Amino acid sequence: MIIRILIIASGLSFVADASLAQNLSAEQVSDQNLDFFLIQAFNSKDARSRLALNHIGIQGQKQEAGFLVTSVLESYPAHRAGLNRGDIITSIDGQPFDPVTGFNRAAAFAPELNSRVLSVLRNTDLFEVTVTPVFENLYDSFRSANSASLQQFSAGNKIIGYLHLWGLSRSSHDLILTKLLIQELAQCDGIILDLRDSYGFLDPEHLQVLLINYTKIDITDASGWLTSINNTASSIADNPYRRPLAILINERTRGGPEILANEISKLERIVSLGSATPGRIGSYEQAGDSGAFSYQPADSTQIDGQRFENIGLQPESVLEWPLSEIRRDDPQFEAAVTLLLGII
């Protein structure tokens, strides 16, 4: 099935077709939604064509009560303001909140330097926070959040490292940066690799950073961006990390991060936790100058002899965290720490 997306944003024409694939509704790829800008930025051919917009570093979905925050990018305005998953943004400067139009009022998007007041509902408490959006494309934002997520903490007498790879890029600079981030955690007793809500493309070097003596992923009948994986000849002489690893995945782990989780979860020292990924490893292609994008599902592609499109990866340890369950702690993260301590 081919999905056509045509949405109006920053002078380009884009609109969502009514028949969309699993986990993507027409609303989710409209110009009112951040998901479009994420897809557009990661699939652009060069940096100049990536659409920048004013945003505060959140992902989420519209509800009757407002905009439900499902994830927050580290170091971005929402994170600095203390917003968390489960918060509902009800208004912006007293008006109904939208994550795109709320910060981008002009037809041609331009930097918004003014602070805005958000009304936020957290459980039964309603409070206000003041934020100033950043003007940036989501490709750069996700990559910046990768580095900002890095941390180490003590658990008992062990040191646990944490890294959220929000966006996977195959640029040489980003591959080197990913390796350096893992190297920062090389002395930890275990690592939590967070791939929840992650997006992007996989390169063999991503796997070589985490897998010992990795040579080649088994992909047959590859299409779209997947064709370049088997054609990439690269090697990393030293593997900076060989200790236990817990991988967090969910229904918003899409594309390259899904395959990354699938491959590294095969080892005994690795445990995956969370909810099943959607199996969206196909490609988005732009048709001519119209601005239209078509999603090409990787229906015939097999990963290690198995179909992956629309199937995805089932975690070894299933722990659902419904969006309707509003809580301040992170049960999947806490379970990952417990599992790691049992392996170390």
- Complete domains list, the chain, with CATH: 33-134 (2.30.42.10), 149-281+298-343 (3.90.226.10)
**Beta pairing class for 283-287 and 292-296:** antiparallel
pLDDT of residue 24: 36
Question: Do 223 and 249 form a contact (C-beta atoms < 8 A)?
Answer: no
- Spans in the chain with pLDDT lower than 70: 1-32, 107-108, 212-216, 230-241, 286-293
Residue 15 phi, psi (nearest 5): -140, 140
Question: Do 77 and 57 form a contact (C-beta atoms < 8 A)?
Answer: yes
What are residue 273's DSSP bridge partners?
Answer: 248, 317
What are residue 103's DSSP bridge partners?
Answer: none
Q: Where are the alpha helices (DSSP H) in the chain?
A: 34-43, 77-80, 138-148, 172-184, 204-210, 227-231, 256-264, 331-343
pLDDT of residue 135: 97
pLDDT of residue 32: 53
Q: Which two tokens stand for residue 53?
A: 């917009």
pLDDT of residue 214: 62
Residue 337 CB partners (closer than 8 Å, separation 6+): 155, 160, 192, 246
Number of H helices, E strands in the chain: 8, 23
Q: How far is CA 60 from CA 118, 126, 301, in A?
A: 15, 19, 30
Q: How are the residues of the chain apportioned to helix, strand and coil, as percentages rounded to the nearest 5?
A: 25, 30, 50
* Residue 95 CA neighbour count, 13 Å, CB half: 8
Q: How far is CA 29 from CA 5, 10, 39, 101, 258, in A?
A: 7, 15, 9, 14, 20
pLDDT of residue 30: 40
Rounded Cα–Cα distance for residues 273 and 19 (Å): 31
pLDDT of residue 212: 63
Rounded Cα–Cα distance for residues 65 and 84 (Å): 16
pLDDT of residue 25: 32
**What residue type is 303 in one-letter code?**
I
pLDDT of residue 304: 86
pLDDT of residue 83: 95
pLDDT of residue 4: 34
What are residue 109's DSSP bridge partners?
Answer: none
pTM (2 d.p.): 0.86
Rounded Cα–Cα distance for residues 301 and 298 (Å): 5
